[in-house]
Chain A
Amino acid sequence: MNSNVTRIPTTIALTLALVSGLSGCGGNKPAEGGAGAGSAASPAGGGGGGPKPAGGTILIGHYGSMTGSEATFGQSTDNGIRLAVRERNAAGGVKGKTIELKTYDDQGKAQEAGTAVTRLITDDRVTAILGEVASTLSLAGGRVAQQYGVPMISPSSTNPAVTQIGDMVFRVCFLDSFQGWVEAKFARETLKAGKAAILYDQSQAYSKGLKDYFKKAFEYQGGIVTTEQAYSGGDQDFSAQLTTIRATKPDVLFVPGYYTDAGNVSIQVRKLGITVPMLGGDGWDSTQLAAIGKDAIEGSYYSNHYSFQEERPEVKNFVEKYKADYGRVPDGLAALGYDAARLLFDAMDRAESLEGKTLGAAIAATKGFKGVTGIISMDENRDAKKSAVIVQMKGGIPVYVTTIEPPQ
C-alpha cells in the first residue's frame, strides 16, 4: 500500500513538471482569449455556422431576471422594452428593417447573466444588448459585451462600476452617487433632518454603494449619521438592528434596499414604535411595496427615475399606452426599459452602420434625448446625466413630490 500511496504525489509532481516544462519552451501561437480582447468579433463576424440570414430584421437581445427573487425587475423592464419595439415596428422599424427582440432569463444570477449575454452575442448574433437591473449582473454581462465589442445599454443599474467596464457599456439612468446626494439634500432641506440612521443590505452592491454616497453627502451637508446597521437580502427579522436604531433617536431612517425587504422593514419599524419617516432609493419602486407595507409604508419617501403623475407629454403618452397593453401602471423600471430601447433605436437611426464601434459611438453621442424618465444626455463616462424625482407613499400609491436637478 505504501509504495502506491507515495506514487500519487509523484504523479502530480511529474505532471506539473511537464506542464511547466512545456510552458518554459514558450508557445508562439496567439492566445484565444488575448486575441479576442482586441480584434472584437463584430456581431456578424466570428466563427463557423455561417452568418444567420439577416433578412429584413435587426435582432437585439435583452437579459434579465424573469424568475428568481427579483423577478418583477426583469419582467417590468421586458414589458417596457417590448412596448418600445412594438411602437417602433408599427412606425416602420429602423432603417427599413423590423426590430426583433430576444429575451433570456438569468434567474438573477451573475453566472447565468454572463452566459446569457455570451449566447446572445456569439450564438444569436444580436446587434446590441439591453439589460440588466441589478448592478452585479450588469457587471457580469457588461464585461462580455465589452469583450466582444457589442454595445450594451443598462436601463437601470445605478452602481458607478458598471460603465467603468469600457466604451461599449452605457446606461440611461442616474448614478448612485447622484441618488445618494439627492436623498441627503431632500432629507436635510425638506425634511429638516439633523440625524439619520441607516439600515442597508450588505449582500447587495447597490444597497451598500447607495448607503456610502448618502452618508457622505448627508454628513457633508451638516447632518449626523447616528448608526449604520446591516442585514442580508431576504432576511425577515430586523428587530435587533431596529432596536439599536431606535435607541439612537434619528430624525429619518434611510433604507436603501430592494422593495422586497423595504416592505418588511417598514412593518417592523412601526411595530417597534419608530415613527420617523423612512427614506429609500429606486430599488423601492414596485407596486408590491405598498401591497406588503400597507399602512406601515405610508408617508415614506423614495427617490425614483420618474413619477407616472408627472405632467410631461412623454410620461402621459407612455403611461396611457402601457396601461392599455399590460393593464397596470408602469413602474420606473418599465419606463427605463422603454427609454433604453428607444434611445438605442434613436442611435441606430443616426449611426451609419450597425457595427459595434459605430453604433457605440452613436449611442455615446446622444444629447438631449427626450425620454419618459427625463432628458438624457450621455456624458464622457457613458452615464446619463439627468434629474431624479422624490415620491411619497400616500394611500398605497407613490405620489409625486418634487424633482431634483443635478448640480451644475
Chain B
Amino acid sequence: MIKGLAPLAAGLALAVAMQLSAGPIIGPFAVKLLMDIGINVILAVSLNIVNGFTGQFSIGHAGFMAVGGYVAGCFTYYGSYLIWGAPRVQAGWLSGGDLLFVGGCLAGAAVAGAAGFVVGLPSLRLRGDYLAIVTLGFGEILRVMLQRTGDVVTSAEEVRAASWPTLATSLGGSLGFSGLPYYTDLFWVYVFVAVTLLVALRLKFSSLGRAFLSIRENEIAAEAVGVNTTRLKVRAFVLAAAFAGIAGGLFAHEVGTSLNPRELGFQKSFDIVIMVVLGGMGSVSGAVLAAIVLTLLPEALRGFSEFRMPIYALALILMMILRPQGILGLREVWELPWLRRRRS
C-alpha cells in the first residue's frame, strides 16, 4: 500500500487533477475549504509524529507554524521586491514566482526544524509534561517578539536599500504580515499533503517508527532495549516542527488568512492537538479524518453563532469519554476489521 514511489505519484496526480478541475467545478469557497483542510492535515499528521507516535506532549505546534509562515513570507515578499520590484503573484503555475514560494516554504521548514531542535533538546531530556509547558512558553515568547517587529516595508527602493537584518525584523508587528502574494493553491497544498502523509506512514511502519512507538508505550522499557530515547524524541520533534513550518508557509500565502501573532497562539495549537487526539493517537488516517471533520464543523456551525463553541466543547468532552482512543485508535482506515473482512 505504501511502498515505493507509486503512492507519491498517485498523490501528485491527484494534486494536479484537483488543481486543474476543482476550481471551476466546486467553486471558490469549496476550494478554500479544501486548502484549509489540506493545511490542517499537514499540521495534524505532523503533530501526530510527536504526540501520537512518541507519546510526547507538544502544545506549541502553532509556534512552529508561525516560524515557517514568517520565514516563507519574508522570502516571497521581500524576494519579490528584489527580483520583480513588487510583491505580486508572478506568471502563474510552476514558474519563477512559484519556485520562490516553494523555496520559501522549504526555508521556513528548515528554520522551524532548527527552532524545534533548540526548544526540544533541553525539554525532551526531562519528563513529558515539561515539553508541553516549554512549547507553550516558546509560543508566547514568539508572539511577544513578533509583536515587537517593525512595519512591513512597502516600496522596492526601500527594500533594496535596507539591510537583511532590517528586513528580517520588518514583519508587521501586531498588525500582522500583510500583503503577501497569494501563491498557495490546491496543487501545492496537496503536493505537501502527499509528502507529509507518505513520510508519516513510512515512518510508522519502519523500525524507526517502532522505536518511536516503544517510547510511547513504555519509555523505560524502550531505553532498556537500547533505544536512545532522547535522541529519537528530538528527531521526531524536529521532523514535526519542519512540517509545521511548511504548513505555515502555505497558510501565509493563502487567500483569506492573516499571518499575525495573535492568530498563531496557543489556541491554534490546542486545535491541532484536538485533531490528533480525536483522530486517534498514532493513526495517520485518523488525523486526516479529524482534520477534515474539525475544519468543516465550525463552518457548518457558523449559523449558530453563540452556541457554536459550547456545542464544539461538549462534543469534544463526550468524544473523549465515550471513545477515548479517538476515531481510529492506533489503526489506519484500511486496517479496520470490517474493511479487512470484506477484502479477504
Contact = CB atoms under 8 A, between A and B. Distances in A.
A262 to B, nearest CB: 18
Nearest to A110: B258
A32 B255 CA distance: 11
B39 to A, nearest CB: 11
Contacts of A14: 5
A105 B305 contact: yes
A33 B28 contact: no
Contacts, number: 184
Given A26-B94, A32-B186, A114-B256, A203 B174 contact: yes
> For chain A, what secondary structure do more than half of its interface residues adopt (helix, strand, loop), or is it mixed?
helix
Given A46-B28, A110-B260, A123-B27, 4 more contacts: A29-B92, A31-B98, A35-B92, A203-B262
Given A31-B92, A31-B185, A12 B260 contact: no
Interface in B281-313: 299, 302, 305-306, 308-309
5 contacts: A1-B211, A8-B199, A8-B202, A26-B95, A140-B256
Interface in A140-196: 140, 143-144, 147-148, 159, 161
Bin chain B's interface residue count: 35 or more
Interface of A: 1, 4-5, 7-8, 11-12, 14-16, 18-19, 22-23, 25-27, 29-37, 41, 46-49, 66-67, 104-105, 109-111, 113-119, 122-123, 135-137, 139-140, 143-144, 147-148, 159, 161, 202-205, 208-209, 232
A177 to B, nearest CB: 14
Contacts of A36: 28, 182, 255
Interface in B146-195: 147-148, 173-176, 178, 182-187, 191, 195
B49 to A, nearest CB: 11
Given A31-B185, A114-B258, A205 B306 contact: no
Contact of B19 (A16, A32, A67, A147): A32
B32 A110 contact: no
Nearest to B239: A8
Given A15-B198, A140-B258, A123 B174 contact: no
Interface string B202-218: 11001110010000000
Interface of B: 5, 8, 12, 19-20, 23-29, 31-32, 36, 88-89, 91-95, 97-99, 102, 106, 144, 147-148, 173-176, 178, 182-187, 191, 195, 198-199, 202-203, 206-208, 211, 255-258, 260-263, 299, 302, 305-306, 308-309
B258 A113 contact: yes
Contacts of A67: 305-306, 309
Given A119-B29, A205-B176, A19 B299 contact: no
Contacts of B93: 27, 29-31, 34
A286 to B, nearest CB: 19
A110 B203 contact: no
A32 B31 contact: yes
Q: Which 8 A-B pairs have the closest CB atoms?
A: A114-B256, A47-B27, A110-B258, A205-B175, A31-B92, A140-B258, A122-B29, A122-B28
Contacts of A122: 27-29, 32
A15 B256 contact: no
